[in-house]
Amino acid sequence: MKREQKDKKIVCLGDSITYGFPWGPSVSWVTMLDRALEDAEVINRGINGNTTGDMLRRFDRSVLAHNPTHVIIMGGINDVVVGESFDRITCNIRNMVERALQEKIKVILGLPTAVDEPVWEKLLERLRVWMKDYAAEKNLAVIEFNKAFYDEKGRVRTDLLLADGGHPNTEGYKAMFAQIDLRIFE
């Protein structure tokens, strides 16, 4: 059966948590989104180990080359792990958002998921707050992926993470998908 032309094309730009590590795209939140949106083509452009700098460097070929109507930008954990500065991370995100907006692409920011490492989690929380503020300033939609990974007392739900404390397990990917309000693509 030939796929008909879709009304929307959504590129999901990110790192291993977009890709679907360690199983691959078939278990990713991106594939779940593709199945849920009948009127959209969803393209997974997650690459394991990518920082926001890597994502910015490949933005033209990974995003713009597909002429998408939407882009979900989801990154930042690898930056924190390698010790990238907060200013560099936010500059990279701003540059990607500006490039997309120049091309009339609707931008959605995916907030980094929780990690079971208190020092990194504190830095990621600062980044999430900035991302929400920046999205409000630019009138961008936000997917709060991180909310899936906390219990009612605000503790990281390690039952949704692999033993490394950073990557979602299969239930974690399902919980991420559950955070997406499909109306943001209307």
Residues 17-42: tens digit of each pLDDT: 999 999 999 999 999 999 999 999 99
**Two structure tokens written together for 57:** 């460097």
Give the whole-number percent of the chain exceeding pLDDT 70. 97
| Angle value at C-alpha 122, between 118 and 126, nearest 5 degrees | 165
Q: Which residues face 110 on adjacent strands?
A: 74, 143
| pLDDT confidence band for 186 (50 / 70 / 90) | confident
A 10 A CB-CB count for 90 gives 18
Structural domains for the chain:
8-180 (3.40.50.1110)
Q: Is the pLDDT of residue 1 over 50?
A: no
The terminus-to-terminus CA distance of the chain in angstroms comes to 26
Mean pLDDT of 44-64: 98
CB distance 113 to 74 below 8 Å: no
Peptide bond into 112 cis (omega under 30): no
SS3 assignment, position 138 = helix
Widest Cα–Cα separation across the chain:
50
Mean pLDDT of 56-84: 98
**Two structure tokens written together for 72:** 């979900």
φ/ψ (deg, to 5) at 92: -60, -45
Query: pTM for the full model?
Result: 0.96
Nearest to 77 by CA among 10, 38, 21, 24: 21
Q: Is the pLDDT of residue 2 over 50?
A: no
